[in-house]
Chains A and B, each alone.
Chain A
Amino acid sequence: MPRGGHHGRYLHVDVSTGATRDVALPDVVLRGLVGGVGIGAWLLWRHAPAPGTDALDPSSPLVLSLSPLVGTPLTTSAKFAVVAKSPLTNRIGDALASDRFAIELKACGIDALVVTGAAPEWSLLVIDADGARIEDASDLRGLSSLDAEMRVRERLGDAWRFFGIGPAGEALVRFATISGDSRHAGRGGLGAVLGSKRIKGIAVRGALPTPLADAARTMELAKDLSRRSLGSGTAKYRELGTVTNVLVMNRLAALPTRNFREGTFEGAERISGEALHELPSVRKHCANCTIGCEHVFETSKGTKVRMEYEGLFALGPLCGIDDRDAVLEAAALCDDLGIDVISAGGTIAFAMDCRERGWLDDIPELADVPGFGDTAGQSRLLTQIGHRRGAGALLAEGSRLAAERIGGDAPRYAPHVKGLELPGYEPRAMQTMALGLAVATRGADHNRSGAYEADLQPGADRFVADPKKGPAAAATEIRAAVMDSLILCKFLRGAFDDLIGESAEMLAAVTGFDVDRDELATVGKRIVTLRKLYNEREGWTADEDTLPARFFDEELRTPSGAGVTLSKRGLDRMIAAYYEAHGWNDRGEVPEEARRALFPGQLFPEPLNPQFASPEATA
């Protein structure tokens, strides 16, 4: 069968000089890591400077990794992964984004883009099928990503697509996003990495179709997947979106409120998804998507805002705010500035908490921080963060570094794991999810671990840290890695009977590799392991796999009114079971034999810089 899906090459651009290189990607890598976060992590490692190098150092690479399914008719496949060392966590950072940018970049004839260096002046990286060039972007400085996109398309033509940063990325805010067409690669501060290279954005236009190994079979599978994507497994996303989770989580006492002081919010109904749907709204689709999960709401001021549960919880209940217009306007401000709504909300909620505890009284730069529920204060802080002004200069560092500056007991209350702010899952009310949050390689994470699924199983006691859930949490990471390497939208997962098996069928039809379920499951495990190994390289220890200490000794009220904490011993036992399920040692490290088994032959990404090669490679 002919090969398809991949172009078999990536583009490396050193924006310091504008030098570009076409580099072949061997089949062993394309088959062994597929694409997306898999190839992205491989290239991150391959181009990595010395361990411990600052994430914002020019030598630290930023990788945009496509997937073999981009450009095919398979629904929700117009996605790509952005992978870099996170300036927020100093560990691996990967985030997904979608839409036509992915299709155009793939049509440039590459499977990935690696950016290193730092441009002398603010620049635009322009890529088409003929190669890459650097253009001046001084006129784009200070613009939101969306405004910059419009300016770029006026300059280059409407067919061009753009992916870039807003003011926060320029200001190196540690949780800045990169976005295109209002869709963000949101978590981990990857916008600051692009900003550190003085690249305002990347403009792409391609001309090469994605080759298909078996076009007829691909089309057949695509039709079937599209049909299933319109079934009951996605109805919630199509009709209401994730914003409806607010009332569900609230009822389960799992809605983080006022910096995790409570799991229920008295104002939940007022800012619920149901309340948002009383506003004028429209539904939108990503490119090549049949689901159409995006719900864009219009505020009383006429601002149109795309809203998801995570932004709603973080800017609403987490900050004690129950004004739906204010929450929507805050989300729009985050979009304009280019900052991650979860980290922004988490960091501000933490600061508000510190204000109410009286811990900021002697810290002049945080004099502006208000208490919970102050909508104007929240808006002011968001702007300050986006431009690193006033209190924003410190809060732009994220809650972990802010807590270190505040000192005292503040680190107990900084809502992060490995520096990444917690998503909207109260760990004491979903204790398998607590495990997922604690161990995820990119920090507190709800997209690389689906451990919450175990908490929602009949018969499960979600208020107990049960070591038997360790393997389930590990398995969700593998499934997520498969989806994030293909890449398919996670909202599709309800449409599959056998996610990995059916994904293998699609991958085989597109690429011509005769992959089956077992092989693709191994790919998922390999990707999870590779990310872990990257973190080990950067100094990870098992001490990082934990949660803020307050969860271990401060009670949360359950729906029945009982008090519950997260047992530290219970969490540690779950973590041990999780390590064991992945085949790691009791310190959570990947044993050498396990690495060799997962990375046979030349599959392991030896760094290009021989100075940093592993002992085995230099022997």
Chain B
Amino acid sequence: MSARLTRGALVLCGGRSRRMGRDKAWLPFDGERMLARAVRLASAATGAVVVIGRPSQNLPALPADVRIVRDDVPDQGPLGGLIPGLRASSADACFATSCDAPFLSAAVIDSLFDALGDADVAVAEAEGYVHPLCAVYRPRVRPVLERLLAAGRRRPVSLYDEVPTVRIDEARLRAVDPDLACLRNLNDEAAYTAALADALPEIEIELFDLARARAGTANTTVRAATLGGALLALADTHSGLVPDVLSAEGIPAPHWRVSLGGERFVVDRATPLDAETPLLLLSALAGG
């Protein structure tokens, strides 16, 4: 039965990011904002994606076919985000995740859909916790969710106690995701930094002329695997470079050039980087 399900995905980003201190939807991660990354990864294993944000929350650019809806009531936790998402989705079942999960895996998502069977929910359970944002939900749980929230019952287990739920245990998860990477969330800077370090090489960037003056440093490092990732991270960490040197999305301003090791100039944002070769950011306006 599950093979004939139409799959959807819900990406929740309406949290307040209190521990991070800045909106996690906008965190750069190898050339993408985290929300865009989560949407891309979820979409690859499902189908149509619905993003659920806070009312008036400013969101990064997303593909045109992504539907964006807003929390009915903010700050209701994951269950609150699921309600408008399930209302907006036309899929038979939706994988739900948050925007701060950088290592979503198609294999895990497939496992959840495969395990759903006739149940209403399939949820990951590992290391002693259930993970409501690594789970698959049928739309018919929405009235239950509404009732629970109306009663002030915001804990996810309240839902699982009321509707048919399949729990995917740690062993099954590790069979497809040995390190349980899909359960990692970027709750604070330390978690974000650690995730970047685990996934991406450290790239040295040398800054010249106006870039050096605006950044207040001659050298810096970012974590990135591609040119686009490095420049986005640079723009994010050195806001003084924006807009005269880089756009907020890490696009070099006209007349700015990026060189790999001083040997060749590159522009393709997919250009792979390695830790041994520094990036140089310099102006092509040489003289008069």
Q: Which residues of A contact B285 (CB under 8 A)?
A: 233, 236-237, 491, 493-494
Q: Taking A242-B288, A274-B212, A559-B263 as contacts, is the C-beta distance between A456 and B244 under 8 angstroms?
A: no
Also in contact, A233 and B209, with CB within 8 A (given A251-B280, A456-B265)? no
Task: Specify the chain B residue showing the minimal Cβ separation from A244.
Answer: B209
A247 in contact (CB, < 8 A): yes
Q: Is the CB of B210 within 8 A of A239?
A: yes
Q: Does A489 contact B (CB under 8 A)?
A: yes
Query: Any chain A CB within 8 A of the CB of B187?
Result: no
Can you name the residue of chain A whose Cβ is closest to the Cβ of B262?
A559
Contact A309 B209 (CB under 8 A): no
B266 to chain A, nearest CB (A): 6
A615 contacts partner chain B, Cβ-Cβ < 8 Å: no
Q: For B245, list chain A residues within 8 Å (CB).
A: 232
The total number of A-B Cβ pairs within 8 Å is: 98
Q: When chains A and B are docked, how far (Å) is the Cα of A387 from the Cα of B287?
A: 30
CB distance from B278 to the nearest CB of A (A): 10
CB pair B288–A248 under 8 Å, yes or no, is no
| Main SS class of interface, B | loop
Say if the beta carbon of A618 comes within 8 Å of chain B.
Answer: no
Q: A458-B257, A458-B265, A560-B261 are in contact. Are A236 and B288 (CB under 8 A)?
A: no
Chain A's closest residue to B245 (CB) is A232
Residues of chain A at interface, number, CB under 8 A: 42
A308: B residues at CB distance < 8 A: 287-288
Shortest Cβ distance from A288 into chain B, in angstroms? Answer: 17
Contact B267 A459 (CB under 8 A): yes
> Which residues of A460-496 have CB atoms within 8 Å of chain B's CB atoms?
460-461, 489-491, 493-494
Q: How far is the CA of A248 from the CA of B282 in the complex (A)?
A: 7
A310 contacts partner chain B, Cβ-Cβ < 8 Å:
yes
Tell which of B208, B243, B268, B282 has the most Cβ of chain A within 10 Å.
Answer: B208
The CA of A424 and the CA of B288, in the complex, are separated in Å by 12
Of the listed residues B243, B254, B288, the one surrounded by the most CB atoms of chain A closer than 10 A to its CB is B288
Tell me, yes or no, whether A365 is within 8 Å of chain B by CB: no
Judged by a CB distance under 8 angstroms, whether A380 is at the interface is: no
Is A452 among interface residues, defined by CB-CB distance under 8 A? yes
Q: Which residue on chain B has the smallest CB distance to residue A489?
A: B288
Q: How far is the CA of A42 from the CA of B88 in the complex (A)?
A: 74
Residue interface bits B265-288, CB-to-A below 8 A is 1, else 0: 111100000000000101111111
A419 contacts B by Cβ under 8 Å: no
Interface CB pairs A-B, < 8 A, 21: A232-B254, A233-B255, A235-B244, A236-B209, A236-B283, A237-B285, A242-B287, A244-B209, A247-B208, A247-B209, A248-B209, A248-B283, A248-B286, A251-B208, A251-B262, A253-B262, A274-B212, A457-B265, A491-B285, A559-B261, A559-B262
Q: A240-B209, A490-B287 are in contact. List 20 more A-B contacts (CB 8 A).
A: A232-B254, A233-B254, A235-B210, A236-B210, A236-B283, A236-B285, A245-B287, A248-B208, A248-B209, A248-B282, A251-B282, A310-B287, A424-B287, A446-B288, A447-B288, A458-B257, A460-B265, A491-B288, A494-B285, A559-B262
